[in-house]
Amino acid sequence: MGAGADIPLRPALQARTLSGSTAFANHGDCVSGRRNVIVGTNTTRSRALPVVFGGVIVAAMVGACGSNSAPSATSSSAASSASATTSAAASGPAQIIVPLGNEPSGTVTLTWDPQTKYITAKIAMVGFTPGSTHAMHIHQGTCDKQGDVLVPFLDVTADDTGKINDSMLSAQPSNTGLVAGTLLNIHLAPANEMGAPGSQTYMPISCANIDPAAGATLQMAPLPQFGDHPQSQAILNYDPAAKTLTVSARATGLVAGSTHAAHIHAGSCDSQGKVVYPLNDLVAKSDGVAETTTVIKDVSQAPPASGWYINIHLGEHDQIEKDGKPSLLFAPILCGNIT
């Protein structure tokens, strides 16, 4: 396996103010937990494989999927706050601000046995596609300048909530142990489906540089596209008088022309569940910025104090399922718990 550009995952993020407004025409029906949405945009898709590494603001009002009314997209200004605060008023509009972080996230602790020469990786991560399997390797180089595979591991598999909490043994010994100038990568696909570096299936979804002097526990994080890790947040607004819940999304740092599915799910970023409300896809313009607003009517209650989260996915809404199951492009890239 040769050198390739890998993509890691999420450090702690700080909310920042992003603003902008764009009107998107959309129309959709709820089918099997998803809505087919047509989003108007003045950009042309330039790449089949969307990868996000910028900031996302999801500001919103979104309504029940089971409603007979169709969601409508409106022109909006996505106003964000540097603090993640929650305001809920039964007698008036309730706004909830939710910071979003990169997924998957967590740590991997590496241990080298000088007797057997094998490396053990203790993984404590969340935010993978539920039930997904991924190749994992130690490579030569750094996350932003990756080289050949040095030590392959057995594939790692997430449980049905997207967690990996397991220990994996390297598939072959390492005579040199853990050394500086190397990195740990987790790839989008399992080893038997990986293509060459640069291909969709080879894509790294999490990475950390190995530095024995700094300790054996690695904070897995996304590889930044523009010098910074993604910064993002979500704003939900519920209007009890109008019975509407609106979700406006603004993202920066996306691949030009890329499209990304978005949903409100039941559960949490650490324990993923089913789709509650599908949202309009985010469609990036030539500058990597995407904006959209989804309005769903006839919502009888505000979002609960816990038990919902927002997910932004790697692929667009018609790419994230295959034969009724999550595909590779279901992979979450941004997530935030609604509290």
Residue 214: what pLDDT? 78
Residue 44 within any structural domain of the chain: yes
Domain coverage including residue 313: 30-103+227-338
Highest mean pLDDT among 13-17, 101-105, 169-173: 169-173
| Pair (162, 62) in one structural domain | no
**Chosen domain end from 168, 186, 220:** 220
At which of 220, 236, 259 does a domain end? Answer: 220
Q: pLDDT tens-digit profile of 130-168?
A: 999 999 999 999 998 999 999 999 999 999 999 999 999
Q: Does residue 68 register a pLDDT over 70? A: no
Same domain, 47 and 78: yes
Confidence at residue 216, expressed as pLDDT on a 0 to 100 scale: 86
For residues 89 and 232, membership in a common domain is answered with: yes
Q: How confident is the model at residue 6 (pLDDT cuts 50, 70, 90)?
A: very low
Q: What is the mean pLDDT of residues 320-327?
A: 93
Residues 241, 96 share a domain: yes
One domain for residues 241 and 260 = yes
* 93 has a pLDDT exceeding 70: no
Same domain, 289 and 255: yes
Q: Considering the entire predicted model, what is its pTM? A: 0.73
Residue 269 lies inside a defined structural domain of this protein: yes
Task: Name the nearest CA neighbour of 149 among 141, 137, 157, 161.
Answer: 137
Q: 53 and 72, same structural domain? A: yes
Q: Which residue among 187, 220, 253 closes a domain?
A: 220
- Residues 173 and 275 occupy one common structural domain: no
Instruction: Round the average pLDDT of the chain to a whole number and report it.
Output: 75
Among 77-91, 131-145, 292-306, the least confident range: 77-91
| Residue 334 covered by a domain | yes
**Are 157 and 211 members of one domain?**
yes
Residues in CB range of 258: below 8 A, 6 or more apart: 45, 47, 49, 50, 51, 52, 283, 284
Residue 15 lies in a domain: no
Identify the CATH number of the domain in which residue 202 sits. 2.60.40.200
pLDDT at 248: 80
Tokens 């595979």, residue located: 149
Per-residue confidence (pLDDT) for residue 224, from 0 to 100: 62
| Residue at 2 is within a domain | no
- For the segment 99-117, what is each residue's pLDDT rounded down to a tens digit? 888 899 999 999 999 999 9
| 12 within a domain of the structure (yes/no) | no
Poorest-pLDDT segment among 121-130, 163-172, 194-203, 290-299? 290-299
pLDDT over 50 at 334, yes or no: yes
Q: Does the pLDDT at position 83 exceed 80?
A: no
* Residues 84 and 112 occupy one common structural domain: no
Q: Are residues 95 and 238 in the same domain?
A: yes
Of the two residues 257 and 255, the one the predictor is more confident about is 257
The yes-or-no verdict on residue 304 having pLDDT over 80 is yes
Q: Identify whether 22 is part of a domain.
A: no
- For residues 35 and 70, membership in a common domain is answered with yes
Q: How many domains does the chain have?
A: 2
